[in-house]
Structure 1
Amino acid sequence: MQSDNQSTDPLKSISLLRDYLLPNLLKEDEKEILYWAGKELARSNTFDSLEELTEQMTTIFLGELIQVKSTKNTMVYDWSGPLVSHRLTTKTAPSFSLEAGFLAEGYQQITGTYTEATYELDFKKSRVTILLQSDHHVSLNEN
């Protein structure tokens, strides 16, 4: 029989790794390294559609990704869920660079346009807003 305290253990475990161990190991390079790692993780997958990318984000990073705005060169997503809420309430400024890098690379794979991502923390609404920016003038020719 599982107690109520055990039901949050996975959130605590992931948060402990992401918000305390990794920052301690990576120091001032944390955000850049995690962003690159997110891109590398996405490269190990193949995405046929934005829906598939969204499903993978949900599965891998335990959250909900909702597109809230789209223009020719930008897409805005809200990232939320129990893990996001937990991390936002237990850490002053948790990094979501891993998720941002994964989303940017996945979007780049699907569209064939050079894409980078940034994010903003919204503590009041317990979510992260991820901004994807694409440059349709940059060639992604693979050699």
Structure 2
Amino acid sequence: MENVSRAQMPAFGYEIIRDFTLSSILGKNESDILYWAGKELARKYPLETEVDVNSFFAEAGFGILTLQKELKDGYIFELSNDPAVFNFEKRNFRLEAGFLACQIETRLGFLTECYDEKDTKQKKVTLTIKWDAKAPVR
């Protein structure tokens, strides 16, 4: 059998589980559960730097994460990927949002949330992170 790196593996299996099976099982609670699951995943894989987070997103098949803007109380990221890999119309990006929110919350020590917004024309997702400096979590 030929030695194939992870980057060359087809995304079909991941897509079946992520975009069809989970959606069917979770139903109307999919968004909330995936956000919580993303936070739990971040607790299992704590990352120390933005580079680590970007690498994790790529390795996990979440996509390419790019910081677009720094705000006084947050960040705006763009998440993109090859449209052949993203099942963009069916995909819910709450798992990625929860993961990113928890990573930043852990690093900064303030209550942090992440909101996702799809741009269906450009096949990109904007992830807006906001934290509350008046709400420490430690």
Q: Percent identity?
A: 30
* TM superposition shift of 1:86: 3.0
**Match of residue 134 from structure 2:** 137
| Distance change >3 Å, CA 68–CA 54, structure 1 → 2 | same
Q: Are residue 78 (structure 1) and residue 78 (structure 2) matched?
A: yes
Residue pair 2:36, 2:98 contacting (<8 A) in 1 also: yes
**Match of residue 31 from structure 2:** 31
Aligned residues: 133
TM-score normalised over the length of structure 2: 0.86
**Match of residue 48 from structure 2:** 48
Q: Which has the higher strand share?
A: 2
Q: Which has the higher helix share?
A: 1
* TM superposition shift of 1:51: 2.0
**Which of 104, 121, 124 is matched with 1:127 structurally?**
124
**Match of residue 102 from structure 1:** 99
TM-score normalised over the length of structure 1: 0.83
Q: Partners of 1:97 and 1:116 in 2: how far apart? A: 11
* TM superposition shift of 1:82: 2.1
Q: Partners of 1:11 and 1:19 in 2: how far apart? A: 11
Structure 1 residue runs without a partner (length 5+)? 3-7
One-letter amino acid of the counterpart of residue 77, structure 2:
Y
Structure 2 residue runs without a partner (length 5+)? 3-7
**Match of residue 64 from structure 2:** 64
Partner deviation per Cα, 1:5-48 (whole Å, 9 max, x = no partner): xxx97322222211111111001100000000000000012222
